[in-house]
Amino acid sequence: MPFKYEELGLSNTKAMFEKALNEGYAVPGYNFNNMEQLQAIVTACAQSGSPVILQVSKGARAYANSTMLIYMAHGAVKMVREELKSEIPIALHLDHGGDFEICKSCIDSGFSSVMYDGSHLPYEENIKITKQVVEYAHARGVSVEAELGVLAGIEDDVHAEESTYTDPDKVVDFVNRTGCDSLAISIGTSHGAYKFKVDRIEDVPPLRIDILKEIQQKLGRKYPIVLHGSSSVLQEYVKMINDNGGNLEKAFGVREDQIREATKYGVAKVNIDSDGRLVVTAIIRKIFNEKPKVFDPRKYLGPARDELIKMMKRKNKEVLGCAGAYPSIE
């Protein structure tokens, strides 16, 4: 099933990031696992005139089936172009690729962007494999994201007990030697819904904007920086889950004003996964609790999809600042 990403109507991230850096906003990297999430992402972004990066983890690729996933992405592009009448750029991106082979497989099947995550490896080994991925990808016009520094937390196959902040003194050497198109850094964000070991939301520590500023100074204002683990763990949905039989205690995320601040200093892409999971779970739990006779999946997946659209449109406008970057249907 070899495809070139252009055949699927996808874009790589180069022009997306150039425009984002010039205009001072971040492109959303929204993760999806199923049809309803994908529908919500492209609908929200088309309606808000936002570019979008459709993100797939190794686990999501296995869950959705790698063959079906490609056709889902192609269908999503067709839906945006032909029904929503929008020309927003859409990338399909591998999130946290763990080795060269999965990156190669995704590139060969039509992904327009891949991330190789060697952040857990010794520095030189990270450079070696990242460079290998870059050489293969660039020969096919595909963008590559790499990572330097380690984020704490758990999300799919990504697991680390503690964060290791990105060393600003290494970023220029790493980017120059690997040729990566964007760099994910660690400045205090974290994977999953339990991002911080605090008892109150007021105690959530701020991001290390000072490290971000230093990294931007060294890489230059036109180099795209990426923040992973940037869900805010929206408390209204945490409460909805807990009010309807769930048990999420001390689940707190990154402050949204901190994400907005980061876009001023070279952050051109922000990854959001957990917030989407929380929205879906909250709505489904509420419906199951209030309407125990419901058994038609459309009756609970449909409302979950609608709430996702609402949440993402607000994120695009108020947090990432990307709403209106491209012609909107609204």
269 forms beta bridges with 27, 226
| Contact in structure between 211 and 166 (CB atoms under 8 Å) | yes
What span, in angstroms and rounded, lies between the C-alpha atoms of 65 and 62? 5
- The string of DSSP letters for 1-55 reads ----GGGGT---SHHHHHHHHHHT--EEEEE-SSHHHHHHHHHHHHHHT--EEEE
What span, in angstroms and rounded, lies between the C-alpha atoms of 310 and 306? 6
Region of 144 (left: φ > 0; alpha: ψ -120 to 50; beta: rest) is beta
pLDDT of residue 285: 98
- The helix or strand, by DSSP H or E, that contains position 142, with its residue range, turns out to be none
Name the burial class of residue 68, with classes exposed (0-12), middle (13-18) and buried (19+) by CB atoms within 10 angstroms of its CB: exposed
| Contact in structure between 31 and 56 (CB atoms under 8 Å) | yes
CATH 3.20.20.70 fits 5-320, yes or no: yes
What span, in angstroms and rounded, lies between the C-alpha atoms of 47 and 193? 27
pLDDT of residue 160: 45
| Contact in structure between 166 and 213 (CB atoms under 8 Å) | no
- The string of DSSP letters for 167-182 reads -HHHHHHHHHHH--SE
| Contact in structure between 107 and 135 (CB atoms under 8 Å) | no
| DSSP assigned state of 317 | I
Residue with tokens 């917030």: 275
Residues noted as catalytic: 95
pTM comes to 0.93
| DSSP assigned state of 82 | I
How far are the Cα atoms of 22, 104, 225, 242, 247 from residue 132, in angstroms, in the given order? 30, 10, 21, 46, 43
pLDDT of residue 16: 98
Structure tokens at 59: 């686990």
Low-confidence ranges of the chain (pLDDT < 70): 1, 150-163, 190-196, 328-330
Q: Beta strand pairing status for 90-97 and 113-116?
A: parallel
- The helix or strand, by DSSP H or E, that contains position 94, with its residue range, turns out to be strand 90-97
